[in-house]
Amino acid sequence: MTRRDFVKKSALLGGGAALLGVSPGCSRGVKTPPKSVVVSAAAEDMLVDLRYNPEAVHRAFSGGLKELAGERTLENAWSSLFGPEDVVGIKVNCIGAPRISSSRESIDETIRGLKSAGVKENNIIVWDHMDQAFRNTGLKVNRGSEGVRVHGTSAKSGVTVPWAEGFDRDVFISLEAGTLKKYRELVKANFTERGTHREIFNSCAWLWMLISLGHEKAQQYREDIRRLYMDYEDRDGIKRIAEEVADKFEGVVIEDEEKSFLSTIVTKDITKLVNIAVLKHNEDSGVTWAAKNIALGVTTNKVRFHIDYCAESIPEILALPCLKDKMVLHIGEAAKISTVSVAGAQIATDNRIFFSRDPVALDAIGLEILEKKRLENGLESVRDISTHVAACARKGLGTADLQKIDIRAITV
């Protein structure tokens, strides 16, 4: 690495077995460029009273996208990625709103950019997992035929069930993690004696599934399971439940329990995808940024993914053509960073927005930034549990090696 490369990278990081279905529309999109380029656009006035400054965001988008696309004007940069024939999904992250979520400023700037490239207003879909996610964002749900559409994949949550309305029955991944079938095997191996809270809880994802599906015998565990979802320290609590239910559901069969279905927005509706992700920590995956915002935002039955820190699920999901071929632009917000697992409970500040075509490269950089911010706040490292980043690289979904990423830091 040359001295110039070293200075650029140092400034950036230290600064400011799956079964697939196939449905129509899953193969259309654009190819990922051979070189992983990540642009950081920094502005001293990026935040004003912990809110994104629209003027600074505009400058960041203008400078960042022109650098990324190699174009002289912002309009040409957008036009090099999108065109009038496209239907574009803007995947946002609403968790933590209004304190920390994909900002209205970045969303509005993206919409303006897409429209400048000729994308029809009603062919723009701002979306997240379900309609209710938008309740604290200031965005109004719109499923109509006029204006920019804003809505969830479904009006209901698909987090703990195999399928919900709005998800595609023909496109899914299939994993044994968290199924009742797998749990019965684990019980025979006496896994509760050595398992962590995370491992035991996610192995019991099938119980939460039965609760959500209305199974009568499972309802007595509703409140305990909801509490234990957030209480990572109560290993004895989840161990007690895991042992108690070991022989209570003999003969029960859960249809499609091993499947996680994909949003029809990505499988059928859109031709290209923009990802506006917020840099965050998560107890069960380490760093959360580009890859996880897409993978866990597009699927059902996903609580169980955390059993191995999402190292298996995220690569399998992102490798599906419906996503891989349509992901065109990743916008990584890092001016406000959630440094602890409960989104927005503890915020670190920066002055940068990142732009890339490579979600893995973005996450590799995001992990370095998150590590630095957590260290400054006396928090432990999460590098060892952020395993999905390297797993995505091994799957051929991008570059996780910082030495092989073309990092371009600009000030706007």
Tell me the pLDDT tens digit for each residue of 101-129: 999 999 999 999 999 999 999 999 999 99
- The answer to whether residue 6 scores a pLDDT higher than 60 is no
Q: How confident is the model at residue 264 (pLDDT cuts 50, 70, 90)?
A: very high
Structural tokens at position 247: 């022989």
Of 129, 32, 148, nearest to 87 (Cα)? 148
pTM, two decimals, is 0.90
Q: Give the tens place of pLDDT for each residue, 166-216.
A: 999 999 999 999 999 999 999 999 999 989 999 999 999 999 999 999 999
328: Cβ contacts below 8 Å, ≥ 6 apart: 29, 30, 81, 82, 272, 273, 274, 357
Using a pLDDT cut of 70, give the percent of the chain over it.
Answer: 92
Across 160-174, 220-234, 246-260, least confident range: 220-234
285 in Cβ contact with 385 (< 8 Å): yes
- The answer to whether residue 11 scores a pLDDT higher than 70 is no
Determine the pLDDT at residue 17: 35
β 167-174/272-282 pair status: unpaired
- The answer to whether residue 243 scores a pLDDT higher than 50 is yes
Per-domain residue ranges of the chain: 3-170+263-411, 176-244
Query: Which helix (H) or strand (E) element contains residue 351?
Result: none
Determine if the peptide bond prior to 84 is cis (ω within 30°).
Answer: no
Mean confidence (pLDDT) of the chain: 91
Mean pLDDT to the nearest integer, 229-245: 92
Rounded Cα gap, residues 79 and 276, in angstroms = 18
- The answer to whether residue 34 scores a pLDDT higher than 90 is no
Determine the pLDDT at residue 4: 39
Of 338, 300, 320, nearest to 130 (Cα)? 300
The highest-level CATH class for domain 3-170+263-411 is alpha beta
Determine the pLDDT at residue 325: 96
